[in-house]
Amino acid sequence: MKLNTNSNAYIIIYSAILVVIVAFLLAFVYQALKPMQDANVALDVKKQILYSLNIRDLDGAEAEAKYAEVVKEEKDIDGQKVYECQIDGQDIIVANLKGMGLWGGISGYIAIDNDGKVYGAYFNHDSETAGLGAEIKDSQAWQEKFIGKNIWNEKGDVVLSIVKKVDDPSTQVDCVTGATLTSNGVDAMIKDGLKNVKNYAIGKLLESIASSDSTVVEPKAEEE
Distance CA 89, CA 102 (A): 39
User: What is the residue type of 2?
Assistant: K
Q: What is the pLDDT confidence band of residue 194, given thresholds at 50, 70 and 90?
A: very high
CA-wise closest residue to 123 among 165, 75, 162, 170: 162
The torsion angles phi and psi of 84, rounded to 5 degrees, stand at -90, 120
Q: What is the pLDDT confidence band of residue 59, given thresholds at 50, 70 and 90?
A: very high
100 C-beta neighbours (distance < 10 Å), count: 16
Q: What is the pLDDT of residues 60-82, one digit of tens each?
A: 999 999 999 999 999 998 889 99
Asked if residue 106 has pLDDT above 70, the reply is yes
Q: What is the pLDDT of residues 2-49, one digit of tens each?
A: 666 777 787 888 889 999 999 988 888 878 877 777 788 899 999 999
